[in-house]
């Protein structure tokens, strides 16, 4: 029996019950199978329904997978940037989402990084302001704290490749990049989502690029509740050891705003050996999969051989953005058929 998810927001996977996440992943799998059929035609579960999508930052995967996804469900995407709205005129986020709720059936927003001067967690606070005003489901398309739809796609990908999530050894690791621009939203959402699904989560990073302690505490609580282990290590090899899934990526500490970019960069430059190359991969299980949400700094975070190698599932992850988001939209935006 699927949960009734009509009207539910997705700001973070932590605000969804495990069974609710599983329902959305089941629908995502169903829609993916439909999409793969040669006689595929668009679904009519969201016919006549609009999704308003507001981007403070650029995007390849998120924008195009949401846009294609709502179309494939019979609905319509409205793509907006802040300068096209009356925000500069002083209209609040709360009023904006309240008004757009009168015109459509969902409101999605991406806001992080330079758009909020790296002032963590200002991006999340802005998403919450839109959420307060909205009378339709709010979707967080990435803020400085969370990237829930990346994690939904990642959960779907791991279920496909390993047939389960529970009890798998899942390692999310810091990886070096010469710029200090990537937020911690993917590792945050990964440790929340995979701990909730019962994986054994290992978080690997150098000293100085810690995640938000509140998120780490929440992930540890998930592990206690759902039966997995949760470990933090400060050595990449140790993190990769015996892993079924490795997910090495760059992130900046949540302190970058107060430290300043130059001070943050000094910490990262001391950790250039945190790279997923073939030698590092050999610490994981032979059949381990390599994940990255993209875009990546190739040659820094991971070598070309690893990114394009037989263990890599990066393009499946990118594809599953489409299917996972369709699963959530179909269940929450009040459509028919699920
Ligand atoms: N992974 C991801 O969110 O990609 P985009 O920034 O291209 O949307």
pLDDT for res 3: 65
- Ligand 1 near 60 CB (within 6 A): yes
Q: What is the pLDDT of residue 279?
A: 98
Residue 293, ligand 1, Cβ within 6 A: yes
Task: Give the pLDDT confidence score for residue 156 in this predicted structure.
Answer: 98
Q: What is the dihedral of CA 155, 160, 166, 167, to 10 degrees?
A: -120
pLDDT of residue 44: 86
Residues 165, 18 contacting (CB under 8 angstroms): no
- For the chain, residues with pLDDT lower than 50 are 1
pLDDT digits (tens, 9 = 90+) for 129-140: 999 999 999 999
Between CA 149 and CA 184, with CA 273 as vertex, the angle to 5 degrees is 25
């206690």: which residue's tokens?
224
59 CB within 6 A, ligand 1: yes
Distance 142 CA to ligand 1 centre (A): 9
How far is Cα 163 from Cα 3, in angstroms, rounded to an integer? 22
CA of 64 from ligand 1 middle (Å) equals 9
Closest C-alpha to ligand 1, atom 6: 59
pLDDT, tens only, 68-88: 999 999 999 999 999 999 999
Distance 132 CA to ligand 1 centre (A): 25
Per the CB < 8 A criterion, the answer to whether 85 and 111 are in contact is no
- The pLDDT score that the predictor gives to residue 222 is 98
> Is 292 close to ligand 1, i.e. is its CB under 6 Å away?
no
* Cβ of 270 less than 6 Å from ligand 1: no
pTM recorded for the entire structure: 0.97
pLDDT at 1: 44
């Amino acid at each position: 029996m699927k949960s009734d998810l009509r009207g539910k927001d997705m700001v973070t996977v932590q605000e969804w019950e495990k069974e609710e996440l599983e329902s959305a992943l089941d629908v995502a799998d169903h829609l993916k199978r439909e999409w793969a059929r040669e006689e595929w035609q668009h679904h009519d579960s969201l016919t006549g329904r609009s999704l308003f999508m507001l981007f403070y930052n650029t995007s390849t995967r998120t924008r195009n997978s949401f846009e294609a996804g709502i179309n494939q469900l019979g609905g319509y995407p409205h793509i907006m940037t802040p300068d096209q709205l009356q925000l500069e005129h002083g209209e609040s986020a709360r009023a904006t989402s309240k008004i757009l709720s009168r015109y459509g059936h969902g409101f999605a927003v991406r806001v992080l990084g330079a758009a909020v001067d790296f002032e963590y967690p200002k991006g999340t606070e802005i998403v919450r302001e839109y959420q307060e005003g909205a009378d339709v489901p709010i979707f967080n398309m990435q803020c400085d704290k969370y990237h829930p739809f990346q994690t939904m796609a990642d959960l779907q990908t791991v279920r496909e490749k390993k047939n389960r999530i529970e009890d798998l050894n899942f390692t999310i690791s810091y990886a070096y990049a010469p710029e200090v621009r990537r937020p911690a939203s993917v590792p945050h959402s990964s440790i929340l989502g995979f701990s909730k699904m019962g994986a054994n989560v290992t978080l690997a990073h150098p000293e100085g690029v810690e995640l938000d302690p509140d998120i780490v505490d929440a992930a540890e609580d998930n592990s206690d509740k759902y039966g997995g282990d949760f470990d933090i290590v400060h050595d990449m090899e140790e993190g990769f050891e015996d892993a079924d899934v490795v997910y090495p990526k760059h992130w900046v500490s949540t302190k970058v705003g107060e430290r300043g970019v130059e001070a943050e960069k000094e910490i990262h430059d001391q950790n250039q050996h945190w790279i997923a190359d073939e030698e590092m991969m050999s610490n994981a299980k032979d059949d381990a999969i390599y994940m990255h949400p993209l875009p990546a700094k190739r040659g820094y975070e991971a070598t070309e051989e690893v990114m394009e190698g037989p263990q890599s599932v990066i393009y499946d992850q990118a594809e599953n953005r489409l299917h996972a988001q369709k699963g959530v939209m179909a269940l929450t935006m009040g459509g028919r058929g699920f």
